[in-house]
Structure 1
């Protein structure tokens, strides 16, 4: 949707209608209404909606009047791709590019974009957000730093979820949405300052998840849903249990494959097997990715790891 389709004098009213339909009702203000321009593109990601918005400097305001016109409660994970902006939502905050903030549509909200803006907005239904733990809703109104531990990972992940990417992604929507939920849960735990304590039942399930990932790591197309189905739990339960230990499925799968590959490279029993074949046996479907992972984790290529072991054996 674009303001280009309407005359300049009608653009602010048109844009307010667009936002009310796509996001939430807002009152829009602009110092030069006739020069105002904005564009919006959305794509569904399961229960989530990913919306890219860009355009002219403006202010947006949601008061009780606008809240009364809304279609129901929703949460919005918002980030600016290009400039700092100011928000008043449970207090006034200045937010830098790449930082994230979670907005509750049932609370008053004011934002100021002092220049041409480029925003990404992820609309999250309350029922979806609730499945990732009570701590997640507690992020409302808080800055999620782009340089904190899990905040950095979440910011990087969200920045890739453009509508264009969603429309052409080779992955299932549920996989992308579950990864977002897991990262939100991990970030909420981190920013709450609470330790990630787990009950005996959760620790037991965590061990079973680790064991199942290790057993099935050689499957190049293995997903969290596959592991969850094998353990007779839901995908969200699996992600929440991993999050309780500060982990993600992708992280654990990569770790299992890397450890298996290193063991083979450091064993004489596999000297007759090429390094590319070892990568394949460990579950890496792409040889260059295998080399990058091993170099990143060990500081050496697969071939160098094997050679270091042979030199050490020769010296002994």
Structure 2
């Protein structure tokens, strides 16, 4: 396997102009934006960047730049115009619209735009899609069709953000949930395709369950028993697959609800919403109950957390 820090930058064709903006961008931070980013939308733990640039251009993250002490992210790229090449984990994926491709910031990679381009770059934490970095390795640098199934739904949503992103500021929380849900479901679908293995099957089920839960956090009757029924497994088996991740289903649901509340409390655009309503939007009903659980998890009450952020 060729090491990415040994790869030579892609050169322009003979007689062509040198790459714009320096041509080569060395990535030092896990979520460093591409040169040419024109607009960014933050949806909780998801960031969507709209990028326009002149090719040939390269994004390179060599091994020497990776800090294993900080959490990384998965990045999904959807070209609008032009072509994108992704090199990672010994593979090379080439995509054009409406295709998608992903890479992982925790390992060396190289992304090449050989011509003028416009693209949408989605950055999502591993936790949000229920995958660790090693578990995501089989999915990187593999083109996804974008013309059918879940890939087509995500591709169409990202194309819409690329074309109309400046007009959807009032719907960012809704769109963020859609991006996360579709991305998680797509990863689960792709994992099922790349390997037939009991462990992969359990991981795929886990991803579907997590996507299901995140879409229904506001429902007060969401419970491990209802989740097991919805996915046609026993409650005991549901508990077993969560135990493989070191947590119980009930604890995971609670942590997801609290994490969503903390994200919304940290968002100045949602300051007009009462704290109790923030809790209800994530299925935590009763102001005192919500406040107590939030304090137990984060060491401060929701009201204090919002006040500290504002100050």
User: TM-score normalized by structure 1?
Assistant: 0.49
* Structure showing greater Rg: 1
User: TM-score normalized by structure 2?
Assistant: 0.50
- The structure carrying a bigger helix percent of its residues is 1
